[in-house]
Protein backbone atom coordinates (compact mmCIF):
# COMPACT_ATOMS: atom_id res chain seq x y z
CA UNK A 1 0.00 0.00 0.00
CA UNK A 2 1.45 3.34 -0.99
CA UNK A 3 0.40 6.68 0.38
CA UNK A 4 0.44 9.85 -1.71
CA UNK A 5 0.47 13.35 -0.29
CA UNK A 6 -2.39 15.20 -1.93
CA UNK A 7 -1.91 18.66 -0.44
CA UNK A 8 1.19 19.98 1.30
CA UNK A 9 0.87 23.11 3.45
CA UNK A 10 1.80 24.55 6.83
CA UNK A 11 2.01 27.90 8.56
CA UNK A 12 2.05 30.06 11.65
CA UNK A 13 -1.06 31.52 13.26
CA UNK A 14 -1.70 34.25 15.81
CA UNK A 15 1.47 36.30 15.44
CA UNK A 16 0.62 39.24 17.69
CA UNK A 17 2.13 42.60 16.86
CA UNK A 18 1.84 45.98 18.53
CA UNK A 19 3.46 48.91 16.75
CA UNK A 20 3.80 52.40 18.18
CA UNK A 21 4.41 55.21 15.67
CA UNK A 22 5.88 58.11 17.60
CA UNK A 23 4.86 61.43 16.09
CA UNK A 24 6.14 64.79 17.41
CA UNK A 25 2.79 65.56 19.06
CA UNK A 26 1.34 62.08 19.77
CA UNK A 27 1.84 58.31 19.68
CA UNK A 28 -0.29 56.18 17.33
CA UNK A 29 -0.79 52.55 18.29
CA UNK A 30 -1.63 49.67 15.92
CA UNK A 31 -2.33 46.11 17.07
CA UNK A 32 -2.41 43.27 14.53
CA UNK A 33 -2.81 39.52 14.64
CA UNK A 34 -1.18 37.88 11.59
CA UNK A 35 -1.63 34.38 10.19
CA UNK A 36 0.68 32.92 7.52
CA UNK A 37 -0.07 29.82 5.43
CA UNK A 38 2.22 28.29 2.79
CA UNK A 39 1.34 25.79 0.07
CA UNK A 40 4.01 24.13 -2.01
CA UNK A 41 6.48 21.33 -2.40
CA UNK A 42 7.13 20.10 1.14
CA UNK A 43 6.70 16.39 0.43
CA UNK A 44 10.31 15.52 1.34
CA UNK A 45 9.61 16.65 4.89
CA UNK A 46 6.81 14.12 5.26
CA UNK A 47 8.37 11.32 3.23
CA UNK A 48 11.99 11.46 4.42
CA UNK A 49 12.07 13.79 7.43
CA UNK A 50 14.06 16.32 5.39
CA UNK A 51 13.25 19.80 6.69
CA UNK A 52 15.58 21.72 4.37
CA UNK A 53 12.61 23.04 2.36
CA UNK A 54 10.69 24.11 5.46
CA UNK A 55 10.80 27.73 6.58
CA UNK A 56 10.62 27.60 10.40
CA UNK A 57 7.58 29.15 12.04
CA UNK A 58 9.83 31.30 14.23
CA UNK A 59 11.30 32.74 11.02
CA UNK A 60 7.78 33.58 9.83
CA UNK A 61 7.03 35.32 13.14
CA UNK A 62 10.33 37.20 13.16
CA UNK A 63 9.78 38.29 9.55
CA UNK A 64 6.47 39.89 10.58
CA UNK A 65 8.27 41.76 13.38
CA UNK A 66 11.15 42.83 11.12
CA UNK A 67 8.81 44.13 8.40
CA UNK A 68 6.79 46.03 11.01
CA UNK A 69 9.98 47.73 12.12
CA UNK A 70 11.17 48.50 8.58
CA UNK A 71 7.89 49.70 7.07
CA UNK A 72 5.01 51.92 8.11
CA UNK A 73 1.76 49.98 8.37
CA UNK A 74 -0.82 52.33 6.90
CA UNK A 75 -3.09 49.71 5.31
CA UNK A 76 -3.10 46.10 6.49
CA UNK A 77 -3.62 44.88 2.90
CA UNK A 78 -0.35 46.53 1.84
CA UNK A 79 1.47 44.95 4.78
CA UNK A 80 0.03 41.55 3.81
CA UNK A 81 1.19 42.06 0.20
CA UNK A 82 4.73 42.93 1.33
CA UNK A 83 4.90 39.81 3.49
CA UNK A 84 3.51 37.52 0.77
CA UNK A 85 5.91 38.82 -1.87
CA UNK A 86 8.84 38.47 0.54
CA UNK A 87 8.05 34.84 1.34
CA UNK A 88 7.79 33.94 -2.36
CA UNK A 89 11.19 35.52 -3.06
CA UNK A 90 14.06 32.99 -2.75
CA UNK A 91 11.71 30.22 -1.56
CA UNK A 92 11.00 28.31 -4.77
CA UNK A 93 9.35 25.47 -2.83
CA UNK A 94 6.46 27.81 -1.90
CA UNK A 95 3.80 28.07 -4.61
CA UNK A 96 1.13 30.01 -2.68
CA UNK A 97 1.10 32.27 0.38
CA UNK A 98 -1.98 33.26 2.34
CA UNK A 99 -1.68 36.13 4.81
CA UNK A 100 -4.60 36.89 7.17
CA UNK A 101 -4.47 40.02 9.31
CA UNK A 102 -6.92 41.19 11.98
CA UNK A 103 -6.57 44.74 13.30
CA UNK A 104 -7.70 45.84 16.77
CA UNK A 105 -8.46 49.54 17.21
CA UNK A 106 -6.91 51.67 19.92
CA UNK A 107 -7.85 55.28 20.72
CA UNK A 108 -6.13 57.93 22.76
CA UNK A 109 -7.48 58.26 26.28
CA UNK A 110 -9.28 61.58 26.91
CA UNK A 111 -7.63 63.89 29.40
CA UNK A 112 -9.57 67.01 30.14
CA UNK A 113 -10.93 68.50 26.92
CA UNK A 114 -8.59 66.63 24.54
CA UNK A 115 -7.12 63.17 23.99
CA UNK A 116 -3.91 62.42 25.87
CA UNK A 117 -1.03 62.33 23.37
CA UNK A 118 0.82 59.21 24.56
CA UNK A 119 -1.80 57.01 26.26
CA UNK A 120 -4.28 54.75 24.50
CA UNK A 121 -7.00 52.27 25.35
CA UNK A 122 -8.51 49.47 23.32
CA UNK A 123 -11.59 50.56 21.43
CA UNK A 124 -14.08 47.71 21.11
CA UNK A 125 -13.72 44.61 18.99
CA UNK A 126 -11.63 43.86 15.93
CA UNK A 127 -11.81 46.71 13.43
CA UNK A 128 -10.73 45.19 10.18
CA UNK A 129 -9.57 42.03 8.54
CA UNK A 130 -7.32 41.77 5.53
CA UNK A 131 -6.58 38.68 3.47
CA UNK A 132 -3.97 38.21 0.79
CA UNK A 133 -3.52 35.18 -1.46
CA UNK A 134 -0.44 35.35 -3.68
CA UNK A 135 0.68 32.60 -6.05
CA UNK A 136 4.03 32.31 -7.72
CA UNK A 137 2.34 32.36 -11.17
CA UNK A 138 1.05 35.88 -10.53
CA UNK A 139 -2.48 35.27 -9.21
CA UNK A 140 -3.28 37.69 -6.42
CA UNK A 141 -6.37 38.45 -4.41
CA UNK A 142 -6.92 40.58 -1.38
CA UNK A 143 -9.82 42.09 0.45
CA UNK A 144 -10.85 43.60 3.73
DSSP string over 25-67: S-EEEEEEEEEEEEEE--HHHHHH---TTPPPHHHHHHHHHHH
3-state secondary structure of 2: coil
In a domain, 2, yes or no: no
With a cut of 80, say whether residue 4 has pLDDT above it: no
With a cut of 90, say whether residue 106 has pLDDT above it: no
With a cut of 60, say whether residue 140 has pLDDT above it: no
Q: What is the pLDDT of residue 15?
A: 97
Q: Residue 61's domain spans which residues?
A: 9-143
Q: What is the pLDDT of residue 117?
A: 77
In a domain, 23, yes or no: yes
Q: What is the pLDDT of residue 126?
A: 59
In a domain, 3, yes or no: no
Give residues with Cβ within 8 angstroms of 131, minimum separation 6: 80, 98, 99, 100, 101, 141, 142, 143, 144
In a domain, 27, yes or no: yes
In a domain, 131, yes or no: yes
Q: How many domains does the chain have?
A: 1
The pTM (predicted TM-score) of the whole model is 0.82
Q: If we measure between CA atoms, which residue out of 64, 61, 86 comes closest to residue 19?
A: 64
Q: What is the pLDDT of residue 144?
A: 47
In a domain, 4, yes or no: no
**60-98 pLDDT, tens digit each:** 999 999 999 999 898 899 999 999 999 999 899 999 999
CATH of the domain at 120: 3.10.270.10
Amino acid sequence: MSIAIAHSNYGKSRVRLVKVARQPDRHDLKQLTVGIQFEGDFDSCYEFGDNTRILPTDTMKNTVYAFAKLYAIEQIEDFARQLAEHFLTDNDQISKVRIDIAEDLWARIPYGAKPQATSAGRQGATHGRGHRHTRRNGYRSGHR
